[in-house]
Each structure stands twice: as structure tokens, then as C-alpha cells.
């Protein structure tokens, strides 16, 4: 075990950082895009709502590996040369955007309709309504949902090894091809994922509890 860590520890650590990078960049850009898509899905433009609906349904009803393979194939056919890391990140972003849009839409639909009407009756403008009334009430539902989504995305990102993206699972495969220490390496890789994902889920659970508590305090006042 010690010899393995001294010989291939750096490779695995680099893979771990690769997973963190794919997930961090892919998730943040995807979540921002998803927030915009979610806003469109709550909006009044029918055609735009339909487009977002179609996008969300397509992503939610196909496996991540198939989506990522399609992105790789599209770029291959177009003859555009982009790093596998960039393509993997794009796949994560596209996936995140659809699920994020659903989270935002679900949170918005759970708001009492009176909130928007009351804000309008107070004479608040469109932006002020969003910024002061709607968004602050969406956050308690959106933030824990987003934290759970990061954990899901981290798990899905392991599929990217099949497309040679330099992330943790891929690093494990490389290390095994050099050492043939199959069980030990998958156990180490698995333990690293476990720590990362359970931390994310723990944060999500804390946020959920914390925000529920904060909301109860607000109502009491």
C-alpha cells in the first residue's frame, strides 16, 4: 500500500483534482445557465417555455454517458479539436443546467401566488419584485437542491473516464494498467469519491436544516 502511494499517489491526486475541476467548472457554469432557464420556464413567453421544457426533458430522460458521448461525437464530426477535459466539463454543464432549471421551476411553483400580487400592489417594479420578494423566497428551496445536485453530478462525472477525461476514475484505470493492483486502486479511488460525495451530501443536509430553521425564525417574528 505504501509503495503504491509513493509511486502512484501523485497520479491519483491529480485525478482527484481533475474530478474537482470538471465538477466545479461544469457545475457552476451549468447552474448559472440553469437559473436562467428556470427563470424562462417560469416566464410568460410560451415558445421560450416550450423550448426550455424540451431541453429539460431530453436531458432528464437520457443517460449521462450517452449525452457526453454525443457531445464528443459532435465535436469529432465537426472536426473541432478541443481537449477531452473541456468537452467533459461541457457535458457536466449541460446536464447540470437542465436539473437546475427544474429545481428553480419547482421552487417557484411552490411560492404562493399572492406574493407576486402583493409585491405588485406595493408598487414594486419588475426587477425589485424579483430581487426583494421572489428570489429571497426561492433560495431556501434552491440551495439545498443545488447542493444535492453537486453530489449527483460528482457521481455521474465518473462516467467521463470512458471518454478519456483525465479525472479520478480515469487516473485509477491508468494506475491499474501500470501496476495491476486492481483491488487496492479501486478501493482507494472509491474512498476518495466517498469522502467527497458524503461531504457534499452532508453540506446539503445541513443547509436544508439550517434554512428550514431560518424560515421558521422569520415566520415567528
Q: How far is the CB of 199 from other proteins (least distance, A)?
A: 9
User: Contact, 23 vs 169, CB < 8 A?
Assistant: no
Give one word for 148, left, alpha or beta, with left for phi > 0 and alpha for psi -120 to 50.
alpha
Q: Which is nearer to other proteins, 135 or 186 (CB)?
A: 186
Cβ closer to other proteins: 47 or 183? 183
Among 196, 187, 180, 203, which Cα is nearest to 24's? Answer: 196
Instruction: Report whether 22 contacts 95 (CB < 8 A).
Output: no
d(CA 144, CA 170): 29
Residue 89 lies near other proteins (rule: CB under 8 A): no
Q: Is residue 169 close enough to count as binding other proteins by CB under 8 A?
A: yes
Q: Does 162 bind other proteins (CB under 8 A)?
A: yes
State the angle between helix axes of 84-110 and 135-157 in degrees (0 to 180), rounded to the nearest 10: 140
One character per residue 56-75, x = contact with other proteins (rule: CB under 8 A):
-xx-xxxxxxxx-xx--xx-
> Which of 108/167 has CB closer to other proteins?
167
Q: Is 20 in the site for other proteins (CB under 8 A)?
A: no
Distance in angstroms (rounded) separating the CA atoms of residues 218 and 221: 5
Task: State yes or no: residue 167 binds other proteins (CB under 8 A).
Answer: no
How many other β-carbons are positioned within 10 Å of the β-carbon of residue 87?
21
Q: How far apart are CA 45 and CA 135, in angstroms?
A: 20
Site string for other proteins, 91-130 (x = CB under 8 A): ----------------------------------------
Contact between 187 and other proteins by CB under 8 A: the answer reads yes
**Interface with other proteins, residue 198, by CB under 8 A:** yes
Q: How far is the CB of 62 from other proteins (least distance, A)?
A: 5
Give the separation between CA 23 and CA 154, rounded to whole angstroms. 6
Q: What is the DSSP letter of 105?
A: H
Contact flag: residue 197 with other proteins (CB under 8 A): yes
- Residue 123, phi-psi category: left (phi > 0), alpha (psi -120 to 50), beta (remainder): left
Q: Which of 111, 130, 201, 203 binds other proteins (CB under 8 A)?
A: 201
Residues near other proteins (CB under 8 A) are 57-58, 60-67, 69-70, 73-74, 76-77, 154-159, 161-162, 169, 172, 176, 182-183, 186-187, 189-190, 193-195, 197-198, 201
Amino acid at each position: 500500500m505504501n509503495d503504491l502511494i509513493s509511486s502512484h499517489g501523485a497520479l491519483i491526486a491529480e485525478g482527484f483534482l481533475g474530478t474537482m475541476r470538471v465538477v466545479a467548472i461544469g457545475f457552476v457554469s451549468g447552474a448559472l445557465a440553469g437559473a436562467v432557464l428556470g427563470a424562462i420556464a417560469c416566464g410568460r413567453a410560451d415558445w421560450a417555455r416550450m423550448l426550455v421544457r424540451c431541453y429539460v426533458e431530453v436531458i432528464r430522460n437520457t443517460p449521462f454517458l450517452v449525452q457526453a458521448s454525443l457531445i464528443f461525437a459532435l465535436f469529432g464530426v465537426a472536426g473541432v479539436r478541443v481537449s477531452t477535459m473541456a468537452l467533459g466539463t461541457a457535458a457536466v454543464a449541460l446536464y447540470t443546467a437542465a436539473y437546475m432549471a427544474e429545481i428553480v421551476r419547482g421552487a417557484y411553483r411552490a411560492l404562493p401566488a399572492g406574493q407576486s400580487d402583493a409585491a405588485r400592489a406595493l408598487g414594486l417594479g419588475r426587477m425589485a419584485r424579483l430581487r426583494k420578494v421572489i428570489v429571497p423566497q426561492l433560495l431556501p428551496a434552491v440551495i439545498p437542491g443545488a447542493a444535492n445536485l453537486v453530489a449527483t453530478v460528482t457521481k455521474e462525472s465518473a462516467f467521463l473516464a470512458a471518454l478519456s477525461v483525465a479525472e479520478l476514475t480515469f487516473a485509477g484505470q491508468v494506475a491499474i494498467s501500470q501496476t495491476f493492483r486492481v483491488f487496492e486502486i479501486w478501493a482507494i479511488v472509491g474512498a476518495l469519491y466517498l469522502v467527497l460525495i458524503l461531504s457534499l451530501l452532508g453540506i446539503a443536509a445541513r443547509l436544508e436544516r439550517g434554512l428550514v430553521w431560518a424560515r421558521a425564525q422569520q415566520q415567528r417574528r
